[in-house]
A and B are shown apart, each in its own frame.
Chain A
Amino acid sequence: DAKTTQPPSMDCAEGRAANLPCNHSTISGNEYVYWYRQIHSQGPQYIIHGLKNNETNEMASLIITEDRKSSTLILPHATLRDTAVYYCIVRVMTSGSRLTFGEGTQLTVNP
């Protein structure tokens, strides 16, 4: 799986949008971009994934650049409960391919 690069930490004010970047410049055409987050003392939680089109669900939006070499996860109105480590993962779309978690970004939402 392609390697991803994320900033180690970010801060965001409560109620504001949190924009978490991810660089995946070596991504292949058959690799999807996945985002998971891990709140302290819990297991990771799926957020969103996409291939090349922008995606939105009830949790977040995913913006993937046209060349697919980077993406941004957007939490439109961050709350204190969004404080977590956010993992950007690229993964081939075949069954059974493991998720390889990097170091992620520690997002801290401040009141």
Chain B
Amino acid sequence: GAGVSQSPSNKVTEKGKDVELRCDPISGHTALYWYRQSLGQGLEFLIYFQGNSAPDKSGLPSDRFSAERTGGSVSTLTIQRTQQEDSAVYLCASSLEQGSNEKLFFGSGTQLSVL
């Protein structure tokens, strides 16, 4: 596909379990972002990857959250010991252009429900 792909589209887990969310960016896009969106809320920035630079992790809400990007392509967001407040849609975006012309392309997100 030509767009950003996220999997799974839906994930239901029990409180205390670990989850992994996957993002396949558009081929060739060097920048990758993770956001999350709680029900009825705006988007909250989590983490940003750009090429081989150190990621900007300043938006991660706690040390239970981590993300990696292997080979400059696929990214995995991991949430350990999930809590009910982690329930949200987790959105991934990638971009090619940098600076003022940067346009983010978003996936459809992973709906995470923590019971």
- Which residues of A pack against B, CB within 8 Å? 32, 36, 41-46, 49, 51, 87, 93-96, 98-104
Chain B residues whose CB sits within 8 angstroms of the CB of A101 once the complex forms: 35, 42-43
Q: Name B93's contact: one of A43, A49, A96, A100 (CB within 8 Å).
A: A43
Q: Which residue of B lies closest to A101 (CB)?
A: B43
Give A1 Cβ to nearest chain B Cβ, in Å. 11
> B100–A93 contact, CB under 8 A?
yes
Q: Which residue of B lies closest to A31 (CB)?
A: B100
Q: Name A43's contact: one of B56, B91, B102 (CB within 8 Å).
A: B91
> B106–A98 contact, CB under 8 A?
no
Cα distance A45–B104 when bound, in Å? 8
Say whether, besides A51-B100, A104-B42, A96 and B48 are in contact (CB < 8 Å). Answer: yes
Chain A residues whose CB sits within 8 angstroms of the CB of B113 once the complex forms: none
B103 at the interface (CB under 8 A from A): yes
Say whether, besides A43-B106, A43-B108, A99-B104, A93 and B43 are in contact (CB < 8 Å). Answer: no
> B43–A44 contact, CB under 8 A?
yes
Please count how many residues in chain B sit with their CB below 8 Å of the partner chain's CB atoms: 25
- Which residues of B pack against A, CB within 8 Å? 4, 31, 33, 35, 42-43, 45, 48, 50, 53, 56, 59, 91, 93, 98-100, 102-109
Q: Which residue of B lies closest to A51 (CB)?
A: B100
> A43–B109 contact, CB under 8 A?
yes
Give B49 Cβ to nearest chain A Cβ, in Å. 9
Chain B residues whose CB sits within 8 angstroms of the CB of A87 once the complex forms: 42
Give A37 Cβ to nearest chain B Cβ, in Å. 11
Say whether, besides A43-B91, A43-B109, A44-B43, A98 and B56 are in contact (CB < 8 Å). Answer: yes
29 contacts across the A-B interface (CB closer than 8 A): A32-B100, A42-B108, A43-B4, A43-B93, A43-B107, A44-B43, A44-B104, A46-B103, A46-B104, A49-B103, A51-B100, A87-B42, A94-B99, A95-B98, A95-B99, A95-B102, A96-B31, A96-B50, A96-B53, A98-B33, A98-B48, A98-B59, A99-B43, A99-B104, A100-B45, A101-B42, A102-B42, A103-B42, A104-B42
